């Protein structure tokens, strides 16, 4: 009996020892999976510090001479659109796919979407519902005077700049396209909240549509089966997105390349990933 107890104790000690060795071995080979870097920029225009999630393409080397396009992503927090968009960028830039070139992605983490992505509204109920709204002009200045210069100084960038925005972010990207079109040369606008201020942005007279506008600009507009907008005066988001596309098409401007993409199988919640994927296919036909 005593001999059996000794034997059992030795077996248990061996099992415990093996488990400890296995744990140590696993911890030795485990390491973090790093998707990008996090930068923080103090903004005078916004009077706050902003968090940037940065994806650098495979092979990026600060010491070489290669320069990369930059994709600026609104709603670019880790729990928003940064991770799945980076996955699409990484996949579509594989050499055997080559839909887009290897690119830097700058995810702008969200602080207050209604504040940053909307212009002042005349609709009193929206003023009360969204009291911080109406400061897109400050976010314009942040992008133009602080963010783009910061990225161009710190990272190896070329002149190709894309912006991606959905919903209020799509409204902001549209306002940027119509008011400051040269800040970017590629616009990916998904389910834009053009209902804001009863669609007043659709009536804007833009330099983008003038005959003397000479920057080649690619514009992708996508909308799903989304229905009525949250407005007192009925508006349909699909109709508004189509009106935006028609406004651009009516200019018959040879420097503008537009695709309007209606995705009836998607809704406001599901459209973003498919739309960005489609946008990259559309852009692959354009020489970077």
Dihedral, CA of residue 31, residue 67, residue 48 and residue 175, to nearest 10 = -120
Domains of the chain: 37-284 (3.40.50.1820)
Structure tokens at 143: 């992008």
In angstroms, rounded to a whole number, what is the distance separating the alpha carbons of residues 72 and 173?
Answer: 11
Residue reference for tokens 């060795």: 21
pLDDT, one tens digit per residue, over 12-48 is: 455 555 555 555 555 568 888 888 999 999 999 999 9
Structure tokens at 55: 């994806």
Q: What is the chain's mean pLDDT, rounded?
A: 90
- Distance (Å) of CA 180 to CA 59, 176, 192, 206, 285: 33, 5, 17, 9, 25
In the chain, % of residues over pLDDT 90: 77
What's this model's pTM, rounded to 2 decimal places? Answer: 0.89
In angstroms, rounded to a whole number, what is the distance separating the alpha carbons of residues 21 and 278?
Answer: 49
80 Cβ neighbours under 8 A, 6+ residues apart: 107, 109, 110
Confidence of residue 202 (pLDDT cuts 50, 70, 90): very high
| Cβ count near 125 (within 10 Å) | 10
- Phi/psi of residue 138, nearest 5 degrees: -70, -35
155 or 286: which leads in pLDDT: 155
pLDDT of residue 8: 47
């Amino acid at each position: 009996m005593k001999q059996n107890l000794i034997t059992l104790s030795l077996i248990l000690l061996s099992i415990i020892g093996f488990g400890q060795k296995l744990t140590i071995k696993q911890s030795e080979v485990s390491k973090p999976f790093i998707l990008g870097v996090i930068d923080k920029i103090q903004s005078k225009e916004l009077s706050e510090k902003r968090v940037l999630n940065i994806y650098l393409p495979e092979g990026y080397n600060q010491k070489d001479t290669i320069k990369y396009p930059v994709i600026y992503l609104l709603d670019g927090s880790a729990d928003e659109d940064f991770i799945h968009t980076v996955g699409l960028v990484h996949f579509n830039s594989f050499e055997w796919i080559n839909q887009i070139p290897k690119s830097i992605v700058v995810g702008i983490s969200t602080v207050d979407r209604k504040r940053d992505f909307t212009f002042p509204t005349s609709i009193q109920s929206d003023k009360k519902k969204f009291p911080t709204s109406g400061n897109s002009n400050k976010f314009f200045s942040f992008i133009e005077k602080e963010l783009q210069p910061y990225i161009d100084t710190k990272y190896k960038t070329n002149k190709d700049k894309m912006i991606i925005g959905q919903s209020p972010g799509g409204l902001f990207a549209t306002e940027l396209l119509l008011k400051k079109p040269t800040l970017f040369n590629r616009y990916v606008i998904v389910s834009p909240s053009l209902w804001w201020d009863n669609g007043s942005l659709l009536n804007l007279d833009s330099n983008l549509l003038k005959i003397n506008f000479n920057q080649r600009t690619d514009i992708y507009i996508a909308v799903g089966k989304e229905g009525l907008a949250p407005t007192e005066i009925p508006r349909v988001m699909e109709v508004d997105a189509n009106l935006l596309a028609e406004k651009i098409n009516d200019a018959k401007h040879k420097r503008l390349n537009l695709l309007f993409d209606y995705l009836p199988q998607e809704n406001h919640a599901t459209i973003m990933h498919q739309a960005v994927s489609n946008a990259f296919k559309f852009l692959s036909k354009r020489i970077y």
